[in-house]
Structure 1
Amino acid sequence: MAIPPVLLLFLLFDPVTTHGFRHCGSAAATNPTPPAVPPPPATPWRHHVFLNFRGPDVRHTFADHLYYALVRKGIKAFSDDRDLPPGQSVAEAIPRAIEESKLSVVVLSRGYASSEYCLDELVKIMQTVKEKGHQAFPVFYRLTPDDVVDHMWSGCYKDDFDRHKRVFSYERVDSWSRALTDIADIAGWVLPSDRYSFHPNNNL
């Protein structure tokens, strides 16, 4: 399966530096002499990328390909099935991992909205985007941005939200709805099958 150009976002990450980024084209990239000024301080991020996805849909396909592609490039990716220590409280560890990541990749699959855990993570991601300068990048896996935008009225998410409204509080369902609307408004990649395309503005 082809890896989408989301990987291009990570070419600025330098796996051999402690501060997280390579400044392309700078003198430091070509001159081996150490700079006279002190190096920049370490970033507060423990992970470069937090991966948000519904396991049954993509864990052993796209998510695995993406995770290992990032790891091979020296990029620290957090995936709950690999990086959550045994005995750790999920309710505490996942929000902390999001806050300690530079950015998130949200893989929106056809079964994504059926999982309250995915949606809760997405709410936290979008809160961190607004409050702490976190970045989020959506991947629309075998669905379209319109499926996400119209999640309350039509598309593959409608049945999930009809069920959520019968089970969960209005406030919680509303927070999921707003988070989905926000992520669908961000430029992302559409993978209708094993190929990808970039949508610079999902609403045009």
Structure 2
Amino acid sequence: MASSSKPEKNYDVFLSFRGADLRNNFIGHLYQALYRIGIYTFRDSEELKKGDQISPVLMKAIEESCIAIVVFSENYASSRWCLKELVKIIECKEQNNLTVLPVFYKVDPRVVRGCKNSYQRALAKHESKFGKESENVKRWKKALSDAGNLSGWHLNDG
């Protein structure tokens, strides 16, 4: 009998976040807390090796994770990498039962799902670069809407 086409799960958690916003504070603390209790977590700064092609490594890591924690911050949508990750995360949620846990860090979930405020500005910049009818931009908006509708944590300060 042929082996299953489901990817092997090499990571407990995949962290998706905007590095410039969170790498040295919230994500650092979260990663260390997960590490201390034995949860094997993919974080791009830890797992990417010099010389690796970023996109294939990230996409494979998402496929090989049991859970994705997506930390939405004010500038998350300004990163094409974050949006590409998010599309893949939502695809894996639908196709491979990836558990997605959103964290809304100093941003309201309504801003994420409705593409408002900083998300609206970021997507407008992407549209000006790729075109208003760009399939990428359409996928990014849908993924933001889908993820913004998931139950998660809304964190302000503390």
TM more than 0.5: yes
- Of the candidates 154, 157, 181, which is equivalent to residue 145 of structure 2? 181
How far is 1:156 from its partner?
Answer: 2.1
Equivalents in 1 of 2:139, 2:44: separation in Å?
22
Equivalents in 2 of 1:91, 1:139: separation in Å?
23
Match in the other structure for 2:79:
115
Match in the other structure for 1:142:
106
How far is 1:62 from its partner?
Answer: 0.4
Return the letter of the residue paired with 1:54: R
Return the letter of the residue paired with 2:148: A
How far is 1:155 from its partner?
Answer: 2.0
Match in the other structure for 2:121:
159
| C-alpha RMSD of matched pairs (Å) | 1.2
Does 2:57 match 1:63? no
Match in the other structure for 1:35:
none
Return the letter of the residue paired with 2:67: L
Equivalents in 2 of 1:53, 1:75: separation in Å?
18
Which runs of 5 or more structure 2 residues have no equivalent in the other structure?
1-6
Q: Secondary structure at the match of 1:117?
A: helix
How far is 1:96 from its partner?
Answer: 0.3
How far is 1:78 from its partner?
Answer: 0.3
Q: Deviations over 1:34-88 (max 9, x none)?
A: xxxxxxxxx9211000000000100001000000000000000000111112222
- Which sits farther off after the overlay, 103-112 or 88-97? 88-97
Q: Secondary structure at the match of 2:118?
A: coil
TM-score (norm: length of structure 1): 0.71
Q: Secondary structure at the match of 1:92?
A: helix
Greater Rg over alpha carbons, structure? 1
Return the letter of the residue paired with 1:164: H
How far is 1:90 from its partner?
Answer: 1.0
Return the letter of the residue paired with 2:128: R
Match in the other structure for 1:50:
14
Q: Secondary structure at the match of 1:157?
A: helix
Question: Structure 1 segments of 4 or more deviating over 4 A?
Answer: none
Which runs of 5 or more structure 1 residues have no equivalent in the other structure?
1-42, 195-204
How far is 1:136 from its partner?
Answer: 0.6
Equivalents in 2 of 1:109, 1:167: separation in Å?
22
Q: Determine what percentage of the aligned residue pairs are the same residue.
A: 39
- Of the candidates 85, 89, 93, which is equivalent to residue 53 of structure 2? 89
Match in the other structure for 1:9:
none
Return the letter of the residue paired with 2:16: N
How far is 1:150 from its partner?
Answer: 1.8
Match in the other structure for 2:4:
none
